[in-house]
Amino acid sequence: MTLDDALEALRAEIEPGRAEQMIAYHKQSREVLGVGNEVLNTLSRDWRAALDLNARVDLAAELWASDIFEARILAAKLLTQARIKPDAPAWDLLQSWVPDFDSWAIADHAASAISKRLVADPARLDTVEDWTTSEHMWTRRAALVSTLPWAKFANPKPEQLAARERILGWAAGYVPDRDWFIQKAIGWWLRDLSKHDAERSKDFLAEHGDGMKAFARKEAAKYLR
């Protein structure tokens, strides 16, 4: 499948009037076609089944480079899969996108794909730790959003617990950061953690909660009693 084929398939699904709503909601200056997420899910599922890994990586790279809103999300969805072998090309491509993040919808879809590659090879957390000191806010945020699986392990193994503590250390370091998206990511991580380890979330809030913005504390404590 060529990029032109993929974009033609996307444009065939445009809903009149939707692009204007999406531009306003997602605050986009790039081209937005007006294609719903359910369509992107269907296309990505069908193309994952039809294309071999190399073709998917190549197409994802071209879709991302097009800088069309839905194309970037579709690129991420093409690589959002737990089992990819060998996955080094996908991991390398996903890493290359991180400095381009500039809006939450695109960043979060890409982070979902990145999280699969991190779970597949937790040694890659060393790379993610470098993101925590980036001057690029979206890169710093990606370090938490892409590691959400470690907040969700119900019965974590010792090495998973150690990684969880490592990531919570990153979150603690973010507390003084006043950016809304950073504070939201801290609250999101703690909220998801509270479903599986409420006491650890409570401990974090007891130590660092006063430094968090009120909305982030509220988000973190959503499921705590």
Identify the pLDDT of residue 80.
97
Q: Domains, the chain, ranges and CATH?
A: 1-120 (no CATH), 130-225 (1.25.40.290)
What is the distance between the alpha carbons of residues 180 and 104, in angstroms, rounded to a whole number? Answer: 12
Quick: pLDDT tens for 167-194. Answer: 999 999 999 999 999 999 999 999 999 9
Secondary-structure percent of the chain, ordered helix, strand, coil, rounded to 5:
70, 0, 30
Place of tokens 């998973």: 160
Residue 109 structure tokens: 């879809």
CA-based nearest residue to 115, from 90, 88, 82, 155: 82
Count of C-beta atoms within a 10 Å radius of residue 106 = 24
Quick: pLDDT tens for 44-65. Answer: 999 999 999 999 999 999 999 9
Q: Is the peptide bond before 86 cis (omega within 30 degrees of 0)?
A: yes
Quick: pLDDT tens for 119-157. Answer: 999 999 999 999 999 999 999 999 999 999 999 999 999
Share the mean pLDDT of the chain: 97
The answer, yes or no, to whether residue 113 has pLDDT greater than 90, is yes
pTM of the model: 0.95
Identify the pLDDT of residue 200.
98
CA-based nearest residue to 18, from 31, 37, 34: 34
Q: Stretch 67-79: mean pLDDT, rounded?
A: 98
Identify the pLDDT of residue 148.
98
Sequence-distant (6+) residues with CB within 8 A of 150 are 156, 160, 163, 164, 167
pLDDT category at 225 given cuts 50, 70, 90 is: confident
